[in-house]
């Protein structure tokens, strides 16, 4: 009987323990806690791996060249051919400065040259024609050099290929050849005036005045330097434009790239040419492809010390300091296929970089950038 009583007591004491175990196994808080811990551990491991091998950033910004449109001569604006935020083609008219005074200056210069030529018995018509041809050639060369400067800058940054730079250099050589040809034609016309005319100071002065008058007249009509857009337009007909003072701003569309500021620990595996996927905030749900064209070497982390002053040391507190970011330039694979207006200076973008061929990491990043692209509809 004593043994039976002991067994009964043991069974009674075991029953609460079993009940506690069953309750613990059905406790939703413990299950949720375990799930959260597993998810947090996975996210942490994923963050460490992806941050090195497939960095992502929402610090992408659309960049391009900004050119103030500055008249080279002063005068009252008679016509403005563009509107604010209008897209213009290369060579399209922007505005016209009243050419009346400059036309009179050309006529006066031509008359002075004719009078000087008559005094030495030489024909001036040939000189005038040759001088006009020289002005056209020099103006054309000036335009080519301005366009080529942008190409050379992008060539240095490896945004443009060497072949694009070679084309620009060839265009400059051709323009210089045209100028030399025009100069030769002008020299020939001057020699036709005779020995006395070629050395006559009045002839040289008259030709210089005519050249300047013709050049000033050609500058009364201002053209768009390339394909782009007009912004910050705050003038209209009747406004007096001063030489050297900007009247509007030109934003170039041909040379557009993306600058993304990545943390230092993102740069370890980055190489020029790595494929990139971009999600623009202006076009949610659309993914564009590109590649890394350059990786920044340096940034200015502090304000430079003044000469003669003391060195300043910037200190940070806390366990974790802010990560330093470096600019990485990205070019789009096919800018021409993008809708006009989709790339605006300063526009924001999410950027996903692929540095390796890990199918799992790349697949997860592929899904991530597309999810962010659709979320752009919300924020």
For the entire predicted model, the pTM comes to 0.61
Is the CATH number 2.40.30.170 carried by domain 49-64+254-299+322-375? yes
Q: Are 42 and 34 in contact (CB under 8 A)?
A: no
Which residue, 207, 221, 4, 279, is CA-closest to 91?
Answer: 221
pLDDT tens sequence across 334-376: 776 777 666 788 888 888 888 878 787 788 888 888 888 888 7
Residue spans of the domains in the chain: they are 49-64+254-299+322-375, 99-219
Rounded CA-CA distance 315/322 in Å is: 11
Local confidence band at 313 (pLDDT 50, 70, 90 cut-offs): very low
pLDDT of residue 187: 78
pLDDT at 58 over 50: yes
Query: Phi then psi for 66, rounded to 5 degrees?
Result: -115, 125
pLDDT at 242: 92
The model's pLDDT over 208-221, given as tens digits with 9 standing for 90+, comes to: 899 999 999 999 99
Give ∠ CA 167-171-174 in degrees, rounded to 5: 140
**Whether the predicted pLDDT of 222 surpasses 70:** yes
Task: Give the C-alpha separation, 241 to 82, whole Å.
Answer: 16
377 token code pair? 């509809």
Closest CA relative to residue 212, chosen from 138, 142, 145: 138
| CA angle (290 as vertex; 167, 164 as ends), nearest 5 | 5
pLDDT of 236 above 60: yes
What is the Cα–Cα distance from 319 to 297, expressed in whole angstroms? 27
And the tokens for 127? 């000189």
Which residues on adjacent β-strands are paired with residue 158? Answer: none
| More reliable by pLDDT, 321 or 103 | 103
Evaluate whether 60 touches 256 at the Cβ level (below 8 Å): no
């Amino acid at each position: 009987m004593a043994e039976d009583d002991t067994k009964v007591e043991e069974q009674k004491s075991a029953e609460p323990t079993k009940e506690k175990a069953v309750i613990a196994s059905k406790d939703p808080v413990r299950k949720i806690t375990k799930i959260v811990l597993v998810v947090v551990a996975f996210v942490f491991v994923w963050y460490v791996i992806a941050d090195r091998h497939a960095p992502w950033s929402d610090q992408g910004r659309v960049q391009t060249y900004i050119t103030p449109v500055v008249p080279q001569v002063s005068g009252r604006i008679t016509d403005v051919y563009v509107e604010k935020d209008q897209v213009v083609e290369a060579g399209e008219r922007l505005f016209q400065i009243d050419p009346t005074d400059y036309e009179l200056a050309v006529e006066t210069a031509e008359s002075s040259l004719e009078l000087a030529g008559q005094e030495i018995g030489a024909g001036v018509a040939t000189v005038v024609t040759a001088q006009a041809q020289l002005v056209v050639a020099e103006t054309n060369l000036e335009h080519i050099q301005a366009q080529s400067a942008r190409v050379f800058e992008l060539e240095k940054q490896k945004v443009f290929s060497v072949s694009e730079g070679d084309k620009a250099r060839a265009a400059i050589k051709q323009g210089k050849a045209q100028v030399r040809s025009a100069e030769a034609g002008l020299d020939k016309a001057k020699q036709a005036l005779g020995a006395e005319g070629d050395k006559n100071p009045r002839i040289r002065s008259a030709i210089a005045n005519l050249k300047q008058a013709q050049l000033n007249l050609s500058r009364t009509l201002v053209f768009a330097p390339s394909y782009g857009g007009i912004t910050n337009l705050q003038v209209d007909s009747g406004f007096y434009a001063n030489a050297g003072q900007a009247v509007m701003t030109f934003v170039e569309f041909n040379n557009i790239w993306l600058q993304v500021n990545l943390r230092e620990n993102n740069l370890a595996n980055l190489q020029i040419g790595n494929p990139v996927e971009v999600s623009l905030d202006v076009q949610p749900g659309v993914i564009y492809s590109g590649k890394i064209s350059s990786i920044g070497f340096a940034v200015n982390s502090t304000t430079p010390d003044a000469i003669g002053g003391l060195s300043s040391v910037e200190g940070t507190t806390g366990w974790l300091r802010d990560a330093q970011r470096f600019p990485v330039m990205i070019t789009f694979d096919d800018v021409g296929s993008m809708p006009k207006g989709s790339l605006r200076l300063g526009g924001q973008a999410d950027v996903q970089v692929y540095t390796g061929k890990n199918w799992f990491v790349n697949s997860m990043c592929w899904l991530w950038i597309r999810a962010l692209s659709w979320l752009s509809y919300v924020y």
